[in-house]
Chain A
C-alpha cells in the first residue's frame, strides 16, 4: 500500500460521511413528500407533512443535544477524577488538549477491567472523556495518548452533534414510515381518495400511494444501514485526526491490537451505548453484528490504515489471523 497522509484520510472520511448524511436527508425528504402527497393529494400538503415530521424530530434532538452527555455518563457509571487522583491520565489528556487547542475536557473513570474509552459532549467547550480502569492498567503512556487523541478528535470533529443529526433523521424516518403504514392499512385512506378534487388526482395519488408504501417499508432499513456506515466513517476519521494530534500512529495501532484481543466484557455497555466506545464493547460472538450492521470498522482495517500513514505494509498473515473478525 502506498504511503498516505493523515490529511488525505481526514478529507476522505469527512467527504464520505457528509455524502452519507446528505443521502439520509434525501431519503427522509423523499419519504416525507411521498407520504404527504399520498395522504393529502397535494404538493403543499406533502411539504406540510414533511415539515411537521421534521419539527417533531427536532424537539427530541434538542433534548438529547443539551443533556445527552450527562445521561450517558450516569448510565456508564463514570466517576470524575482530577490531578490528585489520576495525575498521569490528566497530564495525557492535558497534552492532547494543548495539541488540539481545545479547553480541557472533564475526565471520568469507569471501574471495569475491560479496556475501553468514550467521549461525549456537544462541542469542545462541554466535553467529557471516560476511560476504564482496565485500559489505564493495560496500556502504556504512548498507547493511552493514542486512545485519548482518538476520543478528543471525536469531540473536536463534532461527531456527537453529527451522529445526533443522523440519528434524529433515522428516528423520524422510522416513526413517519410506521405511522403511515398503520394509517394506510387500518383505514383512513378510502375517505380521502374519494374526496380528492384534482381531476387527474386519483390516478397520480394512487401511484404515489404505492410508492409511499414501498418506501415506508424500505426507508427505515436503508436509513439504519446508512447510519451505521456513517458511524464507521467517523471512527476512521477519529483515528486519522488522532494521528494529526500525536503525530505517532504506532501508539494508537498498538492500543487497538491490545484492546481488541482482550476478551473481557464491559459490564456497563449495551446495544444503546455500544456505538460510542473506542472499540465495540460487545464481545460475545453471537451478540456482535458484522459488516454492514457494524457500528465500528474491523480492527484489522483500522490498523492497516494507520500502517499506511507510516508506509508500513499491512499486518502479516499470522498477526492478522488473531485479529480477524474483531472490532
Chain B
C-alpha cells in the first residue's frame, strides 16, 4: 500500500478520535451546569419547607415583633409562587425572602429566652445551614459555568465550539438588593 495513503488514513483516524473526545468533553461540561442549577432549586425548596416551623417556634415569645414574622411568612409565600414564573422572578423573590430572614435573626438576638430555647436554636442552625447550602450551590454553579466558558474559549475546544453551537453561559449574580443592609423594624404594629 502507498505509504502516503497510510499516513493520511492515520491522520484522519487521529483527527476523528480527538474531535470525539473534545465534543464529549463540551457536552459533559454543559450538562454539569444544568445539574448545578437543579441543585440550587433543591436547596431553595428545603428552605421553603423549614420556614413555617421556625415561625411557629418563635411566635409565642415575640409578641411585640409581629411585623417581622408576617414579613417572613409573606415573603415565603411569594417565593413559592414565584417558582413557576421564571428564573428572574424566582431569584428576586428568593433574595427578598433572604432579607426578611436576616431581619428575623437580628431581632431574635434581643430575646434571651428565645436565644436559649433549644428548639429555636436547632431551627436557627437548620436555617443557617440551608442559607449556606444555597450560597455554596450557587458558588458551585458558577464554578461549572467558569469551567465550561474557559473550555469553549481556549484551544483546542475553541476550534469546534462555535460551529457546533456551544455558546457562553452566564454566571449567577447576586441581585443588587442583596447588597443592602437588612432593615430591622422593632415597631409595635
User: Do the two chains belong together in a single complex?
Assistant: yes
Number of A-B residue pairs at CB separation under 8 A? 33
- Interface pair B125/A247, CB less than 8 Å apart: no
Given contacts A99-B140, A247-B139, contact A94 B129 (CB under 8 A): yes
Which residues of A are interface residues toward B (Cβ below 8 A)? 87-88, 91-92, 94-96, 98-101, 141, 245, 247
Does B137 interact with chain A (Cβ within 8 Å)? yes
- Chain A residues positioned under 8 Å from B140 (CB to CB): 98-101
* Chain A interface, DSSP helix/strand/loop, else mixed: helix
What are 24 A-B contacts defined by CB distance under 8 Å? A87-B122, A87-B125, A88-B125, A91-B125, A91-B128, A91-B129, A91-B132, A92-B129, A94-B133, A95-B129, A95-B132, A98-B133, A98-B136, A98-B140, A99-B136, A99-B137, A99-B139, A99-B140, A100-B140, A101-B36, A101-B39, A101-B140, A141-B128, A245-B136
Count chain B CB atoms within 10 A of each CB in A87, A92, A95, A141 and give the residue with the most: A95
Q: Which chain B residue lies CB-closest to A91?
A: B129
A34 to chain B, nearest CB (A): 37
- Chain A residues positioned under 8 Å from B128 (CB to CB): 91, 141
- Interface pair B125/A98, CB less than 8 Å apart: no
Which residues of B are interface residues toward A (Cβ below 8 A)? 36, 39, 43, 122, 125-126, 128-129, 132-133, 136-137, 139-140
- Interface pair B125/A95, CB less than 8 Å apart: no
Q: Which of B36, B122, B126, B136 contacts A95 (CB 8 A)?
A: B136
B179 to chain A, nearest CB (A): 16
12 additional A-B pairs beyond A98-B39, A99-B136, beta carbons within 8 Å, are A87-B122, A87-B125, A91-B128, A91-B129, A95-B132, A95-B136, A98-B140, A99-B137, A100-B140, A101-B36, A101-B39, A101-B140
Q: Which chain B residue lies CB-closest to A145?
A: B132
B38 to chain A, nearest CB (A): 12
CA A88 – CA B36 in complex, angstroms? Answer: 24
CA A94 – CA B140 in complex, angstroms? Answer: 14
CA A96 – CA B136 in complex, angstroms? Answer: 8
CA A188 – CA B43 in complex, angstroms? Answer: 70
A187 to chain B, nearest CB (A): 54
